[in-house]
């Protein structure tokens, strides 16, 4: 197996969460609401005001015994833990803690399981929701759920920190894993599809691991900066990478199939042309001290963007590889590709350079 398969990225800025992060200037809005079980069920099934986020802990799916104990607690009026949701600018709420409890309640009300082995209300063993006495059906529907709503304009990084804290059970989630849950939909499906393209695997020598979604993270960075630099999204970048990536995810979730197909074609062609021109070292800096260096994340997004801009004639320029080689050597000298790679100055430096190179080539 290619030794590159065991390599990581030369820089993984923005991927791992920062447990020591503080937010001196952040505006954090959290409201405390109460909704009846009936209201929550309607918000999920009818009005789609509330979205159940996918669970990360696959081994944490509730067993029937846990579901039945929860229903028994509700019928007895026993308080249950609070629910956390994120609310977006459109007022749509996404549940990030309490999914299992809420799903169990709705499943019971929809007749998907019966009560069994109850310790406190054994008289209801074998009952489904429709079998309960009217008083208890009403009691369950009127049960008040305590909900904490994290509202705009709470920053993305704060949201990730909250998400991590309320969902922490085993391995701490990185930012891309949290982003994958918070923005599940067409955007996450597109990222997964792009990460499986043969052209991407070939151009990177299969060295950007799918583990912990590193591959989808670098692809999302490329897409976000591509959309930003080509004017397809209106966003002011001020070193706020998490905000940009979240903005891009929301855009991709709302984009139609034609846009996804267009972006897929652009990315696929860029990867194919990068490999054809530079081989498996396309996104690596030159060998240093006889050691082949890992793929550099900032170099990947910069050159992927560069190849995405090229016309067919520019791709076939006989001097293209030489031009890129000189540019990579120049990039390798400074700190724009290693330190504070997400800073506004670094981002502008590298993308402006590849744009100038593109413009210097004959069309």
The tokens for 208 are 């950007």
Is the separation of the CB atoms in 90 and 50 below 8 Å? no
Cβ atoms within 10 Å of 182's Cβ, excluding its own: 21
177 versus 76: the higher-pLDDT residue is 76
Is pLDDT of 60 > 80? no
Report the DSSP pairing between strands 144-151 and 29-36. antiparallel
Instruction: Say how far apart CA 235 and CA 228 lie, in whole Å.
Output: 7
Confidence of residue 178 (pLDDT cuts 50, 70, 90): confident
Ranges of each domain in the chain: 3-7+173-360, 29-153
Angle (CA) 172 159 212, round 5°: 35
10-28 tens-digit pLDDT: 766 667 665 445 555 678 8
Is the separation of the CB atoms in 57 and 164 below 8 Å? no
Confidence of residue 53 (pLDDT cuts 50, 70, 90): low
Dihedral Cα 82, 162, 209, 235, nearest 10 deg: 120
Q: How far is CA 137 from CA 36, 37, 355, in A?
A: 13, 11, 65
Instruction: Express as a percent the part of the chain with pLDDT over 70.
Output: 90
Confidence of residue 4 (pLDDT cuts 50, 70, 90): very low
Angle (CA) 161 169 100, round 5°: 95
- Give alpha helix (H) positions in the chain: 37-45, 64-76, 99-109, 134-142, 156-167, 175-182, 186-195, 198-203, 214-229, 241-254, 257-278, 297-309, 312-315, 320-333, 344-360
Instruction: Express as a percent the part of the chain with pLDDT over 90.
Output: 69
* 3-state secondary structure at position 248: helix
For residue 2, what pLDDT is reported? 37
Mean pLDDT of 78-89: 92
Cβ atoms within 10 Å of 354's Cβ, excluding its own: 22
pTM of the model: 0.77
266-304 tens-digit pLDDT: 999 999 999 999 999 999 998 877 788 999 999 999 999
Cβ atoms within 10 Å of 181's Cβ, excluding its own: 18
Instruction: Say how far apart CA 283 and CA 291 lie, in whole Å.
Output: 15
* 3-state secondary structure at position 151: strand
102-149 tens-digit pLDDT: 999 999 999 999 999 999 999 999 999 999 999 999 999 999 999 999
């Amino acid at each position: 197996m290619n030794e590159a398969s065991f390599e990581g990225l030369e820089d993984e800025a923005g991927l791992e969460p920062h447990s020591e992060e503080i937010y001196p200037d952040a505006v954090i809005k959290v409201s405390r609401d109460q909704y009846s079980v009936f209201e929550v069920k309607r918000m999920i099934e009818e009005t789609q005001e509330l979205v159940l986020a996918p669970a990360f802990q696959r081994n944490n799916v509730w067993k029937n015994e846990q579901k039945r104990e929860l229903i028994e607690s509700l019928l007895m009026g026993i308080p249950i833990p609070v629910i956390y949701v994120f609310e977006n600018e459109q007022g749509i709420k996404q549940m990030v803690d309490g999914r299992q409890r809420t799903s169990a309640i709705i499943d019971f009300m929809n007749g998907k399981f019966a009560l069994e082995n109850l310790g406190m209300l054994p008289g209801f063993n074998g009952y489904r929701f429709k079998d309960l006495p009217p008083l208890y059906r009403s009691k369950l529907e009127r049960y008040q759920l305590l909900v904490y709503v994290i509202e705009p304009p709470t920053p993305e990084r704060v949201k990730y920190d909250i998400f991590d804290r309320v969902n922490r059970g085993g391995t701490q989630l990185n930012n891309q894993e949290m982003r994958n849950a918070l923005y599940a939909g067409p955007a996450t499906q597109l990222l997964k599809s792009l990460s499986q393209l043969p052209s991407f695997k070939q151009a990177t020598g299969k060295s950007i691991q799918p583990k912990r979604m590193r591959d989808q993270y670098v692809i999302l960075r490329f897409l976000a900066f591509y959309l930003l630099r080509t004017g397809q999204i209106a966003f002011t970048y001020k070193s706020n990478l998490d905000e940009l990536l979240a903005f891009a995810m929301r855009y991709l979730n709302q984009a139609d199939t034609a846009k996804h197909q267009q972006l897929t074609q652009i990315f696929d062609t860029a990867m194919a042309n990068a490999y054809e021109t530079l081989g498996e070292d396309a996104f690596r800096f030159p060998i240093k001290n006889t050691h082949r260096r890992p793929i550099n994340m900032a170099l990947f997004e910069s050159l992927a963007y560069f190849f995405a801009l090229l016309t067919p004639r520019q791709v076939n320029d006989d001097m293209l590889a030489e031009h890129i080689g000189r540019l990579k050597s120049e990039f390798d000298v400074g700190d724009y590709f290693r330190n504070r790679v997400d800073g506004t100055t670094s981002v502008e430096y590298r993308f402006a350079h590849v744009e100038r190179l593109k413009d210097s080539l004959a069309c």
